[in-house]
Chain A
């Protein structure tokens, strides 16, 4: 049950679009920085396969310039 956190960098002037696009994905929690052009993204998926699919989905977002992994681990089952 992977939980990962990323720093997402939007293309110039597209922070709002990126926040919206990421917020529309159910497995993503988005937290934009108040005063910088960067977002914290936390993903919460059931297994590695769904994590992979989610990652591909995020990578396709047009307003996303760069996604950098910060931390990631599998939550134990019990």
Chain B
């Protein structure tokens, strides 16, 4: 990126300084180095600053990228962004440093006689289109699939959906957000009938308590966590960490409460039991705004191919719900949850105190759970029983992992069952899609096909014969990669991978397409708080790199669907967004016009009469409320949210004499997901060069394991060798080991289990049984 050594050194120094500032920000509330930020920029630089959202996580911080002579040379936090108010985490500051990595995919590569041959992009797109067409002609529409991402931009997701569902006519489209957010979606839909959080990040400025459920926010949502710490220091707000592992979040919290894996279901019910038994129910809220329901139980785990499940909701009344909760008294739950009666009562008393405002935060701990939908329902129950919802500082808040898991995967709907508005099973939703897409309604199939795990099972079985992945690395991120890697290597399936860097997924591709990185194209992302953010292309990409949306359009045109994709290369982002906005017109989901998004650092939908709606379902803030009451849960036909009776059920696999330890997997602050970008950013790679396996010190002692020793972790699926880590980054509970999944050289997902929540189909990466051996 730099010609002279001195400029390069000063840049690296700036990065080193920023890492330290960010580390300090995760330890100290509201720490300020503000005046120093601009001083770190290379001397004499004449920079043009362009705004956009951060490429990495779902917090969606606003960034300003400084460009000089067509190169990105600096990144700083956008002080105008309400999300981060100028602050960024270590990933955010360093994000553009991967673009020029030496092994960047700059040209298309086509496998010929077992070798990758550099191929002009137009020729590679011809091959992709021809192969897709041939496959459909020979084996039918459902023999081809696309697998995209919560990191795809809104236009990229939109054209993928239009291409697969509207042009080809198959629902074989799913995305990696299935692996992280699907339980949040089904949780929202079953309880409220409308996806995505009702509140916004401004809740942080009002809450008295933050209760984090299995969520290491200090590492995964660091900027939000530092905003919480700031409130802790300024106003005495309290953070309670409820988790299965002691993490950086636990140590920075006021209280850390640990529970046994899977028993969060029981503890949530015990909190409701306490709320009811102590008379803390907000009766008028519940009477006016809630219904009670129960669903099926013993619902399975989806470990077998072609698993099917459909819930059968049944209305119940408050007394039936109360009777059900008798099994969940704090005394009974304390026996198997590892949480003391005192701590359960303490948690309940926080939620139950009518004078305390409480926000619950969660992310993967609750979503990647074989009862993920239930867990989401149960936390909503707590907020509904107490009426602590949809008000500044009061509400349940499901955070997202990926920068556009909300904006693209959920709102555009790049899931097999989804359309940009609604679901494929709903005739009205299909009609609207057909009208806007200008296709015959019969072309859009009414039945969902493969969710992510089942899609890769279908590849392995030979049912899917062509798959195109964009902006994702499934052969590192799927559970049980020990099955799905050999599946993708089979000759029966033609694999196309669009990416920025080579990955273990591109290693099995027949065609590799060179994708533009984030700031090398224009785009839009939608973050966790329903904020849509736009950015303009900032720099040229190298070689023949091309935006994913444009590659999809090019393939669609070659397959004869040109009339459905009349967009221009220069303005396709704008044209696609304007077409997409039509799906969400109205007070319940209106999206801000592009002109607004170009000027402002994002806007929150529903965007109505020139204003973001910060708290949905509350008539004071949300113009879509129409029932004349203070609250209107208008996602449900009767305007009432549902309090669900959901029991504790055990996980799909628990430790036994042969495999005596729990395996929990997750992330670290330095790396973004599978590490394909962040491991190419020197400062991040040096800070966290490889994965490790964390032990509780008592377990390490019993096994005579020392720090750094090579350990083989084995499950019924596969094994992985990693260095031991004791008393370093995190501390798992006794009987549990933790491994981060960012390292493609240590594929922990060869070990994990592909059990999933039968309702959301989201896999559980947090619980399976393993044995431990020294190598």
Contact = CB atoms under 8 A, between A and B. Distances in A.
A33 B30 CA distance: 10
A33 B32 contact: yes
Interface stretch (B8-16, B62-70, B274-282, B559-567): B8-16
A42 interface: yes
Interface in A34-78: 34-36, 38, 40-42, 44, 70-73, 75-78
Interface residues of B, number: 26
Interface in A15-37: 29, 31, 33-36
Contact of A71 (B9, B33, B36, B686): B686
Interface stretch (B20-28, B335-343, B413-421, B693-701): B20-28
A34 B31 CA distance: 7
Given A71-B683, A78-B5, A7 B13 contact: no
A34 B33 contact: yes
B690 to A, nearest CB: 15
A40 B33 CA distance: 9
Nearest to A71: B19
Contacts of A77: 5
Most-contacted residue by chain B among A4, A29, A33, A71 (CB, 10 A):
A71
B326 interface: no
A34 B32 contact: yes
A3 B13 contact: yes
B686 A73 contact: yes
A31 B36 contact: yes
Contact of A31 (B5, B12, B33): B33
B17 interface: yes
Contacts, number: 80
A75 B12 contact: yes
Contacts of B35: 34
B34 interface: yes
Interface in B619-661: none
Contacts of A6: 20
Given A33-B31, A38-B28, A70 B8 contact: no
A3 B16 CA distance: 7
Given A3-B9, A44-B9, A73-B682, A31 B17 contact: yes
B33 A33 contact: yes
B28 A70 contact: no
Nearest to A34: B32
A34 B9 CA distance: 26
Contacts of A41: 20
Given A33-B31, A40-B17, 14 more contacts: A5-B19, A7-B20, A7-B24, A29-B13, A33-B33, A34-B33, A34-B35, A35-B30, A38-B27, A71-B19, A71-B686, A73-B683, A77-B5, A78-B5
27 contacts: A3-B9, A3-B12, A3-B13, A3-B16, A31-B21, A33-B28, A33-B31, A33-B33, A34-B31, A34-B32, A34-B34, A36-B24, A36-B28, A36-B31, A36-B32, A40-B33, A42-B17, A70-B687, A71-B16, A71-B20, A72-B686, A73-B12, A73-B683, A75-B8, A76-B8, A77-B5, A78-B5
Interface of B: 5, 8-9, 12-13, 15-17, 19-21, 23-24, 27-28, 30-36, 682-683, 686-687
9 cross-chain pairs, A with B, having the tightest CB-CB distances, nearest first: A5-B16, A5-B20, A71-B19, A40-B20, A34-B32, A70-B20, A73-B686, A36-B28, A70-B23
